[in-house]
Chain A
Amino acid sequence: MSVNVTKTVEPPPLEFHDLTVAYHKRPVLWGIDLEIPKGQLVGIIGPNGAGKSTLIKAAMGLLQLNSGWVKVFGEPIGKNLKRVGYVPQRESVDWDFPVSVMDVVLMGRYGHLGLMRRPSKKDRNIARDCLEKVKMLPYANRQISNLSGGQQQRVFLARALAQESDIYFMDEPFAGVDAATESAIVTILHELKAKGKTLLVVHHDLPTAKEYFDSLLLLNMRVVAYGPTEEVFKYDLLQSTYGGRLTILSEVAEAVREKS
């Protein structure tokens, strides 16, 4: 007599298979094959125009794929939308838009509400907690145009927290923020990771990249390298990612030297 043990292993939070994305027939991402395990804090590193934003947009199903597929927790993204949280690039919205900080954070709850339903008291409380976490609660009723860059980024982060997702995509959350905001965001990233969330964060600053992230994804149209930070943060790999850009190369050299 045999005992049939069926172990239910949850599929990986994110899986790319042979993904190719093009804008107007010009490919910007080529044959991406990746599997991101649960509970990872992944930094996506690459020069401007490397396709970092494109990669996370493709992962969230915002773009038409030319070939390949993306699976989120083993299923097409459409089935798992509520498990995905998003922090877009800060410049992607009009900060003069007539909404308050609270309105924006409440938008994080919209995905859970479905069509026509209004946010409830419970949603407001969640939004308030998220604002508290990023220390923006005192600004809840401010119009968003009165915020500094760092404050705007915190609002976006609070909105993503309000989504209560399992996997988060963040596009340059550290761009143009003050030091206090940067460390606040890092703290929150690590808290989320400790809760078993998976995080993919586009990052542009090499020296801090190796401090902040467990693993790095070096990207330039294709995956140059993906793995634990200490294995991937190597001069030759970074050089082939940034390919011949002198200013960046010297920065890389500096960063590598600091490390060793």
Chain B
Amino acid sequence: MRHLPLIAGFCLLAAAMPVWADRIGDISETSVIEQAKRFFSFRDPSVRYALIGSVLLGISCGLMGGFIVVRKMALFGDTLSHAVLPGVALGFLWNMEKDPVAIFIGATLAGLLGGAMVALIRQTTRLKEDTALGIVLASFFAVGICLLTRIQKMPGNKGGLDEFLFGSAASIGRSDIILMAVVTSLAVLLVGLFYKEFLVTSFDAAFARAAGFPVNIINYALTLLLAFSVVVALRAVGVVLVSAMLITPAAAAYLLTDRMHRLLGLAALFGVISGAVGAFISFLTTNIPTGPLMVVAATMVFALAFFFGPHHGVLMRWWRQKSRSARVQRENTLKAVYHVLEAREFDGEGVSLRELAERRRETLDEARAQSDALCKHHMATLHDDGDAIHLTPEGWQRACEIVRNHRLWELYLTNEANIAPDHVHEDAEIIEHVLGEETVRELERALNHATRDPHGRVIPGLADLVSGSTPFGSPETVTGYTSR
């Protein structure tokens, strides 16, 4: 008994071996395409069971996973799923065969016992949740491995208990499917009926209790459903990785939506996709157990959400950042054009690239690149063989807005916040690009519609902006612009 951990480690490896020989049906075709055809024809009952089973486990794991992710209970899910292992073994010992109902009951009870142990350790000692979870996970799993190894060595055993470690969709039989269907329907039904209760206790348990909801009962119900969905997934995914089918699809959904009901729907969908893809690939390849394949598939879904999610996706964030800095760059060019025109009192419309480059202290090539960017956004047109640019009405309007924002903000900081006039420019350089029209109106009101900034320069007014035309068409607009 002293060498138990060592033995357990060996057994884990040994137990994994036979699984690699397992796959859906006893198929002899060799070509991948033949295999795929066979899979999608659903000819073999084992293929049908595997697929239906993956769909069912995807739904129940996705739903329950959604709750444990928003409740920050992912580690609890992991612990509970490892804690079922001794129950699996005891369920088998009950009548020495793989009776789904006996194993289901044993596993569920063991999982709940694990959860209760965590609560007990937390309430009676000073240990914190993570430590309690660690202890329970490891100890239950170790006991499970020992029992399983003993069973494996018993005379007359039919073997194949090890598939509970890494999962084998091929081993799902008719009675498993019935059990899975019952449990998944129960989960869907309860979540549907008591959605409001689950939502409010997950978000704010103290409030829910104060409003009279039986928070403890709801939490027990959730834990029970969680244990059910773990046990349902056990056959196909295996004890070691089943928590990933809870967490990963739900985590992907969490990155994609801001509403709980959509999160649950998406998590279930991702669970189904991962389960089905995992079952399919394990059917094609010869020697990989189903569980890892399903988890890899789920991780792919997560990676897609991580990179391409419309709100929180890394790629979209990067893209938004990039387009924002490109816009700021363009607006700074517009401002430079304005400054050049202002310096010569709006005499003549065209601004040569040389003037622009000087103003921005850049090379001619850089000025050209920026003019091109403006032209591409219809804010300017090139003239004189591309040596000068003219602003379009839109370009002109935006230029006026930026200069106005800048000067208004400088004035505001100087007047209202008592900041010295030579300290306000840097701040205004940033603020000018983000001020909304609403805030601008407020600023103008606060400043009594002042017309000059702290450096004595004219602040472009609303009238010039709405007219939307360049001041060069007619002399009136020019005067209308400079003196309001």
Q: Are B206 and A57 in contact (CB under 8 A)?
A: yes
Q: Is A211 an interface residue (CB 8 A)?
A: no
Against A, the Cβ 8 Å flags (1 = close, 0 = not) of B186-209 are 000000011011011011101111
Against A, the Cβ 8 Å flags (1 = close, 0 = not) of B255-277 are 00111101100000000000000
User: For the complex, what is the distance from the CA of A93 to the CA of B208, rounded to whole Å?
Assistant: 12
User: For the complex, what is the distance from the CA of A5 to the CA of B196, rounded to whole Å?
Assistant: 47
**B203, B208, B209, B258: which contacts A104 (Cβ < 8 A)?**
B203
User: For the complex, what is the distance from the CA of A107 to the CA of B205, rounded to whole Å?
Assistant: 12
Q: Are B204 and A60 in contact (CB under 8 A)?
A: no
With A98-B258, A99-B259, A100-B258 as contacts: A110 and B211 at CB distance below 8 Å: yes
Q: Is B153 an interface residue (CB 8 A)?
A: no
With A57-B206, A110-B211 as contacts: A116 and B260 at CB distance below 8 Å: no
With A62-B206, A104-B203 as contacts: A94 and B259 at CB distance below 8 Å: no
**A92, A104, A159: which contacts B206 (Cβ < 8 A)?**
A92
Q: Return chain A residues, CB-CB under 8 Å to B254.
A: 98
With A57-B206, A98-B258, A98-B260 as contacts: A81 and B211 at CB distance below 8 Å: yes
B195 to chain A, nearest CB (A): 8
Q: Are A100 and B259 in contact (CB under 8 A)?
A: yes
In the complex, the chain B residue whose C-beta lies closest to that of A100 is: B259
Q: Is B455 an interface residue (CB 8 A)?
A: no
Q: Are B193 and A116 in contact (CB under 8 A)?
A: yes
**A88, A103, A113, A116: which contacts B207 (Cβ < 8 A)?**
A88
Q: Is A111 an interface residue (CB 8 A)?
A: yes
Q: Is A163 an interface residue (CB 8 A)?
A: yes
Q: Are A110 and B209 in contact (CB under 8 A)?
A: no
Q: Return chain A residues, CB-CB under 8 Å to B197.
A: 110, 115-116
A178 to chain B, nearest CB (A): 16
Q: Return chain A residues, CB-CB under 8 Å to B213.
A: 110-111
With A99-B260, A110-B213 as contacts: A88 and B206 at CB distance below 8 Å: yes
Q: Is B210 an interface residue (CB 8 A)?
A: yes
Chain B interface extent, by class = 20 to 34
Q: Are B203 and A107 in contact (CB under 8 A)?
A: yes
Q: Return chain A residues, CB-CB under 8 Å to B260.
A: 97-99, 103
Q: Is A118 an interface residue (CB 8 A)?
A: yes
Give the one of B202, B206, B207, B259 with max A CB within 10 A. B207
User: For the complex, what is the distance from the CA of A94 to the CA of B205, rounded to whole Å?
Assistant: 11
Q: Is B212 an interface residue (CB 8 A)?
A: yes
Q: Are B211 and A118 in contact (CB under 8 A)?
A: no
Q: Are A111 and B259 in contact (CB under 8 A)?
A: no
Q: Is A226 an interface residue (CB 8 A)?
A: no
In the complex, the chain A residue whose C-beta lies closest to that of B209 is: A62
Q: Is B70 an interface residue (CB 8 A)?
A: yes
Q: Are B200 and A110 in contact (CB under 8 A)?
A: yes
In the complex, the chain A residue whose C-beta lies closest to that of B257 is: A98
Q: Is A82 an interface residue (CB 8 A)?
A: yes
Q: Are A97 and B203 in contact (CB under 8 A)?
A: yes
Q: Are A92 and B196 in contact (CB under 8 A)?
A: no
B449 to chain A, nearest CB (A): 24
**A110, A143, A159: which contacts B258 (Cβ < 8 A)?**
A143
B residues contacting A by CB (< 8 A) are 70, 72, 193-194, 196-197, 199-200, 202-204, 206-213, 254, 257-260, 262-263
